Amino acid sequence: MNIKKNYIPSNRSSVDSFYVMDVLAKAKEMEAIGKEIFHFELGEPSPSTPKKITDEAKRLIDLDLPGYTPSNGIHELRRKIAQYYLKKNISINSDQVFITTGSSGAFLLSFLTCFDAGDKVVIFNPSYPAYRNILKSLNLEVVEIESSPDNDFNIDLTKIKLQKNVRGLIVSSPNNPNGQIFSKKELKFIYSFCEENNIVLISDEIYHGIGKKNNFFSMQTFGKKCLIINSFSKFFCMPGWRLGWIVVPNNFIENFLKLSQNLFISTNNIAQFSAIKAFECIDEFVENNKMYNENRNYVYKKLQSTKWNKFSMSEGGFYTYINLSEFESDSVKIVRKVLDETGVALTSGVDFDKDNGNSAVRLSFSGNKINVKNGIDKLVQWINNNY
């Protein structure tokens, strides 16, 4: 007798969950029954998408726009992005720009184009979990360089010299979750090391423009042998529009295009045409950054008065990464406890670092000032009562 077996998922699909989404789901359940929630778990800008962009989307809906767009994105938007870089004294051709379905689409296209199964790719921990999980799903070997909890979880770049047979390296500055910004000297070191060792360098610059200092150096500053990923979700206040971009070296253009055609066909047409207006709203985005920095100062001041006073004094992005190793070894449990007892939603460090994440939590201060103030005051009261 033939015994029918159920289909089973592939091994490469067995990646880790993104635990912050579980926190979000629980927080939403609590909100639905009337509990006040302070959303410090997600890195979502609180300012709304600028009216110029939303008004343009409304106008476009009534037009007879083409449904599919070119697989690398509409030329008008790619040209605007090239002009945006030119204002930063970085010269790129619009043909090097690919519009993607968020930065996630850019990561997938980059990893498929640049690496073959079994290649070694270096990431720095703590880091955005999608790097690790997408790489693993493509049967790539992830080499994780750990940071030290005793040094604000900052990354020691000299450790990359110890790695052998590396094909690729992913760097983000500002870093998610600890907000670390690499100096111009450090970025130059990374670029030169990769160039000298024929390592494909992918620079995630999604948090450029958000931070205390105007010292966000694109990796393209140091040369053309790198890939640059960015998105409209953070600085440009368009989360949920699922629109990102990537700048690729000329010799990658053909392969990127073929993969884009087959994997995605094209990106959302309304979102692309609307995003052209984003470059008319730069002053508004700069003003938003002032709010983030005011939140940053308030969060740091309040946390420093508590036992949770070991945290990354991040200068970029809108996160701080809190070291709880002196008190806790199960950050998933502590995040759940804080949410249940205060309504403050945080993110466990296990999303960002499998080795040290159980003794850390990430706090996002991307919300409006009143929400951040009230939530932090509530969190500080809870910390003082429990530690």
CATH number of 273's domain: 3.40.640.10
Q: What is the mean pLDDT of each run of 10 residues along the chain (387 residues)?
A: 75 86 91 94 92 96 88 97 95 97 96 97 93 96 83 71 88 93 91 94 96 85 96 96 97 97 95 97 95 96 96 91 92 95 96 91 95 97 96
CB atoms near residue 7 (< 10 Å): 4
Q: Which of 280, 314, 339 is the last residue of a domain?
A: 280
Nearest residue to 211 (alpha-carbon basis) of 136, 332, 318: 318
- Cα radius of gyration rounded to whole Å, the chain: 21
User: In degrees rounded to 5, what are phi and psi of residue 124?
Assistant: -100, 130
Provide the domain limits for residue 244: 51-280
CATH number of residue 316's parent domain: 3.90.1150.10
Boundary of a domain, candidates 280, 309, 337: 280
Q: Are residues 211 and 346 in the same domain?
A: no
215 and 287 in one domain? no
Tell me whether residue 5 is in a domain.
no
344 in any annotated domain: yes
Position 9 in a domain: no
Q: How many domains does the chain have?
A: 2
17 DSSP 8-state letter? P
Whether 208 and 243 share a structural domain: yes
Question: CA distances (Å), 160 to each of 142, 144, 193, 317, in order?
Answer: 13, 10, 9, 24
Q: What is the pLDDT of residues 185-231, one digit of tens each?
A: 999 999 999 999 999 999 999 999 999 777 789 999 999 999 999 99
Please tell me whether residues 259 and 296 are part of one structural domain: no
Domain identity same for 136 and 266? yes
Q: Which two tokens stand for residue 282?
A: 């730069």
Rounded distance, CA 360 to CA 365, Å? Answer: 16
Check whether residue 23 and residue 79 sit in a common domain.
no
Q: Are residues 201 and 319 in the same domain?
A: no
Residue 7: per-residue pLDDT:
83
Q: Supply the pLDDT for residue 265.
A: 94
Contacts for 333 with CB less than 8 Å, ≥ 6 apart: none
Q: Which of 280, 302, 322 is the last residue of a domain?
A: 280
Judge if 291 and 264 occupy the same domain: no
Mind listing the pLDDT tens digit for each residue in 265-300?
999 999 999 999 999 999 999 999 999 999 999 999
Phi, psi of 364 (to 5 degrees): -100, 130
In a shared domain, residues 23 and 160 = no
DSSP bridge pairs for 203? 171, 228
* The predicted structure's pLDDT at residue 171: 95
- Among 167, 163, 117, residue whose Cα is nearest residue 144: 163
Note the pLDDT of residue 5: 73
- Give dist(CA 179, CA 317) in Å, integer: 6
Q: Are residues 294 and 348 in the same domain?
A: yes
Name residues whose C-beta falls within 8 Å of residue 304's C-beta, 6 or more positions apart in sequence.
Answer: none
Whether 227 and 325 map to the same domain: the answer is: no
93 and 166 share one domain: yes
